[in-house]
Amino acid sequence: MDFKYKDIDIFCDVVDNFGDAGVTYRLAKNLAEILPEVRIRLFTNGMNAFASLSPDIKGFELLSYDVLNGIFLRENPPAELIIEAFACHIPELYYQTALNRECLIINLDHLSAEKWIEGVHLKESLTGAKAKKYFFMPGFNENSGGLILGRELTQLKAADLRKEFCARFGLDGDGLIATIFTYEHDFSNFMRDLTSSGKKTELIVFGEKSQKSFEPFLTMRNDKIKIVFSDFITQEGYDGLLKASDFNFVRGEDSWARACLSGKPFIWHSYHQEDNYQLVKVKAFNQLMKNYFTDDDMYQKYSEYQTVFNDRTDGVKDKSFTFFNENLSAMEAYSGMLSKYLIRNCNLIKNLLFFAGSRKEL
């Protein structure tokens, strides 16, 4: 690829476990694959999180904020293209040095389905210095920055993966397989509905918060329901598992984006915000999903379930999951339409590199 920048620096503050780290690791890895001739450095305050994501970093340098002193910056000045992930706090010495150079700074924001992001996307944030800075808003349509696609998820075949994961997790695979990766939640109604369905269902539960939520059900005696607690797996492994499963519960941003691209039915658990503000984000995503449903009644039930699932008000109980479980084929068709649209029209890496290249020509 004919890219006009010789180097890229990415900055990431690790705030919530692997969420921000997961997105920026995926970004750096994909940029390195597309631009093998470009030097890429990823600076972070959370080295341990990145080490868990992949013990074998290839194609880019992973560095701690601690290295950014005067000596380092004299020998290794700021890159021509700087990506500031999620409005993180770039160490001051680096940032001030970058402002006084001919740098392009991209403020890569959080993923959202809210309409307002389209008015902010690619707008300039004035620095009052030599460096130019712009907002870049990931999203779900062509008026946004899109999603990080990655080669793995778009090429994986579910049928080739299911046997592999059954062997890995000790599953039979002759019923439904689902993954659970959420924040803390009361899954009593969900488990009641699974049990009453009579369908054999094997659940793979990830993360401390999800596993704590499922601890009350580990002693449940039901030969139709199996619960497996999994340790952390690589991004590539998780991507494959989403496609091999029949439905998924996902959380935050990185796993949410992967679920959207997987083509499999899913429920999204948004990060909890003050005054239940996450419901605004969930409402926006539900409205987006309406574009992919042909059955209005099924859409309404899906939207209501996902909304209530994200409502952290005390005493609120989940809606029935029965509609979802009984209509998995139709739900997969709707999720598949979303996935195909995103893969065809919403390539974040492609959009980001095109925009950066256009700024270089000015």
249: nearest Cα among 287, 313, 205, 197: 205
Residues 57 and 122 occupy one common structural domain: yes
Q: Do 110 and 140 share a domain, yes or no? A: yes
Instruction: For residues 113 and 79, state if they share a domain.
Output: yes
d(CA 288, CA 141): 9
Amino acid (1-letter code) at residue 101:
R
- Please choose, from the candidates 355, 350, 343, the residue with its C-alpha nearest in 3D space to the C-alpha of residue 1: 350
Quote the tokens at residue 134: 């712009």
Residue 157 and residue 123 share a domain: no
Same domain, residue pair 41 and 87:
yes
Predicted local confidence at residue 3, as pLDDT: 86
Q: Are residues 312 and 249 in the same domain?
A: yes
- pLDDT tens, position by position, 99-116: 999 999 999 999 999 999
Examine the domain organization and report whether 128 and 244 are in the same domain: no
Judgement on whether residues 113 and 226 belong to the same structural domain of the protein: no
Q: How many domains does the chain divide into?
A: 2
pLDDT of the residue at 362? 62
pLDDT at 13 over 70: yes
User: How far apart (Å, rounded) are the C-alpha atoms in residues 359 and 362?
Assistant: 5
The pTM of the full predicted model, rounded to 2 decimals, is 0.93
pLDDT tens, residue by residue, 188-203: 999 999 999 999 999 9
- Name beta bridge partners: 10: 42, 83
Which residues, in sequence order, are CB contacts of 269 under 8 Å at separation 6+?
Answer: 182, 183, 185, 249, 250, 251, 252, 309, 310
- If asked whether residues 178 and 317 sit together in one domain, one would say yes
- Of all helices (H) and strands (E), which one includes residue 134? strand 132-136
- Residue 218 inside a domain? The answer is yes
Q: Could you tell me if residue 1 is inside a domain?
A: no
Mean of all residue pLDDT scores within the chain: 93
Separation of alpha carbons 178 and 4, rounded Å: 44
- 50-61 pLDDT, tens per residue? 887 777 888 999
Residue 154: per-residue pLDDT:
54
pLDDT digits (tens, 9 = 90+) for 272-296: 999 999 999 999 999 999 999 999 9
**Residue 2 within a domain:** no
Instruction: Identify the pLDDT of residue 17.
Output: 58
Q: Is residue 162 part of a domain?
A: yes
Give a yes or no: residue 332 inside a domain: yes
Residue 109 placed within a domain: yes
Residue 156, pLDDT > 70, answer no
Determine the structural domain holding residue 352 and report its residue range. 7-149+347-360
The answer on 50 and 122 residing in a single domain is: yes
Q: Would residue 263 count as lying in a domain?
A: yes
Residues 334 and 213 in one domain: yes
Q: Which CATH number do you get for residue 132?
A: 3.40.50
Residue 222 lies in a domain: yes
H helices then E strands: how many in the chain? 16, 11
Sign of CA dihedral 164, 150, 48, 249: negative
Q: Quick one: angle between helices 296-309 and 328-345, nearest 10?
A: 80
| 114 and 175 assigned to the same domain | no
- 361 has pLDDT over 80: no
